[in-house]
Amino acid sequence: MAKNDGGRAFPARVMVREYDAMVPVYHGGMSLRDWFAGQAMTALCAWAATGGAMTANDIAEEAYKYADAMIAERAPE
Protein backbone atom coordinates (compact mmCIF):
# COMPACT_ATOMS: atom_id res chain seq x y z
CA MET A 1 0.00 0.00 0.00
CA ALA A 2 1.37 3.42 -0.94
CA LYS A 3 1.86 6.08 1.72
CA ASN A 4 -0.62 8.92 1.85
CA ASP A 5 1.22 11.80 0.20
CA GLY A 6 -1.35 14.37 1.35
CA GLY A 7 -2.32 15.34 -2.18
CA ARG A 8 -0.77 18.08 -4.28
CA ALA A 9 0.91 21.18 -2.91
CA PHE A 10 0.98 24.26 -5.11
CA PRO A 11 -0.87 23.00 -8.19
CA ALA A 12 -0.82 25.56 -10.95
CA ARG A 13 -2.26 26.40 -14.32
CA VAL A 14 0.33 27.97 -16.57
CA MET A 15 -0.38 29.60 -19.91
CA VAL A 16 1.99 28.45 -22.67
CA ARG A 17 2.26 29.79 -26.19
CA GLU A 18 1.43 27.13 -28.73
CA TYR A 19 1.74 28.44 -32.27
CA ASP A 20 -0.36 31.62 -32.27
CA ALA A 21 -2.45 30.89 -29.18
CA MET A 22 -1.96 30.72 -25.46
CA VAL A 23 -3.12 27.41 -24.00
CA PRO A 24 -3.39 26.35 -20.35
CA VAL A 25 -1.06 23.64 -19.10
CA TYR A 26 -1.75 22.10 -15.71
CA HIS A 27 1.06 21.20 -13.33
CA GLY A 28 0.14 19.15 -10.29
CA GLY A 29 2.91 20.48 -8.06
CA MET A 30 4.88 18.54 -5.50
CA SER A 31 3.19 16.31 -2.94
CA LEU A 32 2.23 17.80 0.38
CA ARG A 33 4.34 15.07 2.02
CA ASP A 34 7.43 16.29 0.14
CA TRP A 35 6.64 19.89 1.10
CA PHE A 36 6.28 18.99 4.79
CA ALA A 37 9.50 16.93 4.67
CA GLY A 38 11.38 19.83 3.10
CA GLN A 39 10.19 22.16 5.85
CA ALA A 40 11.22 19.68 8.55
CA MET A 41 14.57 19.10 6.83
CA THR A 42 15.42 22.80 7.11
CA ALA A 43 15.11 22.67 10.89
CA LEU A 44 16.92 19.34 11.14
CA CYS A 45 19.84 20.65 9.04
CA ALA A 46 20.07 23.76 11.21
CA TRP A 47 20.13 21.60 14.33
CA ALA A 48 22.78 19.28 12.83
CA ALA A 49 24.93 22.30 11.95
CA THR A 50 25.03 23.32 15.62
CA GLY A 51 26.59 20.03 16.66
CA GLY A 52 23.72 17.56 16.36
CA ALA A 53 25.12 14.22 15.23
CA MET A 54 23.02 13.37 12.17
CA THR A 55 24.04 12.13 8.74
CA ALA A 56 22.25 13.28 5.60
CA ASN A 57 20.40 9.95 5.52
CA ASP A 58 19.33 10.40 9.15
CA ILE A 59 18.01 13.87 8.35
CA ALA A 60 16.05 12.65 5.32
CA GLU A 61 14.54 9.77 7.27
CA GLU A 62 13.53 12.00 10.19
CA ALA A 63 12.13 14.67 7.86
CA TYR A 64 9.73 12.17 6.30
CA LYS A 65 8.72 10.90 9.75
CA TYR A 66 7.68 14.46 10.62
CA ALA A 67 5.90 14.80 7.26
CA ASP A 68 3.98 11.56 7.82
CA ALA A 69 3.00 12.73 11.30
CA MET A 70 1.71 16.04 9.88
CA ILE A 71 -0.36 14.23 7.25
CA ALA A 72 -1.77 11.81 9.85
CA GLU A 73 -2.69 14.70 12.15
CA ARG A 74 -4.62 16.56 9.47
CA ALA A 75 -6.54 13.47 8.29
CA PRO A 76 -10.27 13.51 9.07
CA GLU A 77 -11.30 11.22 11.90
- What's the average model confidence in pLDDT over 6-27? 85
Q: Is 19 helix (H, G, I), strand (E, B) or coil?
A: coil
What pLDDT shows up at residue 1?
A: 47
Q: What is the pLDDT of residue 2?
A: 61
Q: Which domain holds residue 57?
A: 30-77
pLDDT for 36 beyond 90: yes
Query: In the chain, how many domains are there?
Result: 1
pLDDT above 70 covers what percent of the chain? 97
Classify residue 18: in a domain, yes or no.
Answer: no
Please tell me the distance from the alpha carbon of residue 22 to that of residue 35, in angstroms, as a whole number: 30
Strands 8-9, 21-27: parallel, antiparallel or unpaired by DSSP?
unpaired
